[in-house]
Amino acid sequence: MSVPPENHHAGNAPKSLRVAIPALLIVLASGLVGYGISNLTKRSQETNLVSLSAKQARHVKAEFETAESDRAGRYVRELLGRQIDVPAIEDAELTGVSIHDAGDGAKIPVLMYRNTDESGNIVLYAYSYAFLDIHGRRFQLASDVLERIEAEDLFELRNSGEANVLIWRQRDDIFIAIAESGSEALENRIRAFSQPAP
């Protein structure tokens, strides 16, 4: 009886696979981790109200032009059924108001101001605690920001990388101001016209 020839490659194939499969798994795992981190970072930027507000501010146009805070407040009330106290800012004049539609029923009043010294504009988003309760899965404020603005007389300063950002609370309204000028100077200008809540 003839003996079949030995297959010298039989033992090599499994060994090659033992080396190749773990290497392939490492590459796949690294790719998935990288993709996950990228998506998480992107989602974080997409849901962070500070980043979103700063990014959108340059594209905002007034739907209703007015220099009167009462008329701007009435416009918001008629369209959204929401009462807001339009902030006054020292050395800046109100120029108009818009309603930003972020989709899925998320609508945000946006107030526009012009500095009287022609140093640039201020865009003011008027969010609220009710807005965060309803749309909190899509739009969020960092917990440290919410803690900071628990007291009405405290402001939070941020730099989004694109603009100076000032955040504060007035009753149930949460304002995010996007300014070309320094946010610390803007804080002082808002304080100068602020009235304590009754």
pLDDT score of 68 more than 80: yes
Cα 177 off chain centre by: 12
Residues 63-87: what's their mean pLDDT? Answer: 95
Segments making up each domain of the chain, as ranges: 7-47, 49-193
Buried b or exposed e, range 158-174, using 16+ CB within 10 angstroms: bebeebbbbbbbbeebb
The percentage of residues in the chain with a pLDDT greater than 70, rounded to a whole number, is 70
Query: What is the per-residue pLDDT for 126?
Result: 96
Token pair listed for 136: 């909190």
Token pair listed for 139: 């739009």
pTM: 0.72
Bridge partners of 101, per DSSP, are: 107
Residues 156-178: what's their mean pLDDT? Answer: 84
Higher pLDDT, 27 or 120: 120
Higher pLDDT, 11 or 49: 49
pLDDT digits over 16-63, tens only?
656 666 666 665 655 554 444 333 333 344 578 888 888 888 888 999
**pLDDT averaged over every residue in the chain:** 79
**Highest mean predicted confidence (pLDDT) among 29-38, 136-145, 187-196:** 136-145
Tell me the C-alpha distance between 122 and 120, whole Å: 7
Q: Under CATH, which architecture does the 49-193 domain have?
A: 3-Layer(aba) Sandwich (3.40)
Burial (0-12, 13-18, 19+ Cβ within 10 Å), 146: middle
